[in-house]
Amino acid sequence: MALLRLEDVTVRFGTHTALDAVDLEVTEHEIVCVLGPSGSGKSTLLRIVAGLQSADSGRVLLSGTDQAGVPVHRRGVGLMFQDHQLFPQRDVGGNVTFGLRMHGVARAEQERRVAQLLEMVGLPGAQRRAIASLSGGEQQRVALARALAPEPRLLMLDEPLGQLDRGLRERLVVELRGLFGRLGTTVLAVTHDQGEAFALADRVVVMREGRIAQAGTPLEVWQKPADAFVARFLGFDNVVAATVSGTAADTPWGKIPVPDGSRQGEGRLLVRPTGVRLTDAGDGMRCTVASRSFRGNHVVLRLRPVDGPPLEAECAPADAPHEGAEVGVVFAADDVVVLG
Ligand SMILES: Nc1ncnc2c1ncn2[C@@H]1O[C@H](COP(=O)(O)OP(=O)(O)OP(=O)(O)O)[C@@H](O)[C@H]1O
């Protein structure tokens, strides 16, 4: 059974619809990340589940029970917000025990649980440290320990790593996934950072203007974005109008091969940068290298074709042509996706 189920949930603020007939299920032990641009309704979704916001229509069920009228503190959900709102006047231990005291847990048990949680989040023995003495990442871990302490059936995270620098986020996100896996925590997280969502989630949900544009495993969404919006949101820029016929498509870049079984007729087409292959200037579509950007293990090239919109290609650093070079381009069907 789904631990969390949203049925046809709509939330309006005046004339603005923040959530528009949203259906969503989260299974026990699953980590679901909701991803989407600013204003797409992500926080509203969390607030509805937590009970901080009521729906204009639709139902929220936790373990099969309708939560209408159930107050925040009786829903058994844990919340961790972006500005992790630690109590600066309390030490680390005082912060982590906060929820436990609210639940009337005995003192000895509180101390045992705090020690265990701090160990788990990588801050063993930090009970007596002052909040002000902690780095941003350490504070984030304390906030996480505090949210986990009452053992919520569902843990909700709103931009959990939002304010941390990229390196730390990338490390923490891997740790978090491991931690949630060990604890069997069910998680509904919200982020606008696709890298974070893809690294953390079992399933990602991409939102657009209060609706779910696509839901699937990170691999499914990455390999087959549902439409041009999702493709662009994931950072793919090579999206053009196309007419598909058989295993080829007519596009502004000429004829491009498409995978077997692609949807036929008019639509939009995505070419992943890895599918834009460079050849000699005399072969394929002729392009000028407008810019190149080094990304560690690969180089992203911005190409300007003689005809059609600019496009991005990806190649090994050793093979990257210099700016201004004339190259030829051919397309690899494996990296072409006919969008819905
Ligand atoms: N209390 C409110 N009153 C009026 N409008 C609101 C309220 N809360 C949210 N909205 C509007 O509803 C829409 C969705 O907001 P929400 O905060 O859920 O988006 P979000 O995807 O979480 O955005 P962000 O990534 O910027 O936090 C936005 O257009 C927002 O302005």
- Residue-wise pLDDT for 134-173, tens only, equals 988 888 889 989 988 888 999 999 987 776 777 778 888 8
Q: pLDDT for 255-268, tens place per residue?
A: 999 999 999 999 99
Global pTM reads 0.88
Give residue 39 CA to ligand 1 midpoint distance, Å.
5
**With a 6 A CB cut-off, is 13 part of the ligand 1 pocket?**
yes
- Mutate-to-test residue for ligand 1 from 13, 49, 194, 233, highest number of ligand atoms within 8 A of CB: 13
The pLDDT tens digits of the residues spanning 165-191 come to 777 788 888 888 988 988 899 999 999
Q: Hey, which of 10, 11, 15, 43 would you mutate to test ligand 1's pocket, going by the most ligand atoms within 8 Å of its Cβ?
A: 43
Domains and CATH numbers, the chain: 2-228 (3.40.50.300), 236-339 (2.40.50.140)
Taking 90 as the threshold, does the pLDDT of residue 53 lie above it? Answer: yes
Q: What is the pLDDT of residues 286-334, one digit of tens each?
A: 999 999 999 889 999 999 999 899 999 999 999 899 999 999 999 999 9
Distance 320 CA to ligand 1 centre (A): 43
Is there an atom of ligand 1 within 6 Å of 44 CB?
yes
The pLDDT value given to residue 84:
63
pLDDT at 340 over 70: yes
ipTM above 0.85, yes or no: yes
Cα separation, 326 vs 24, in Å, equals 49
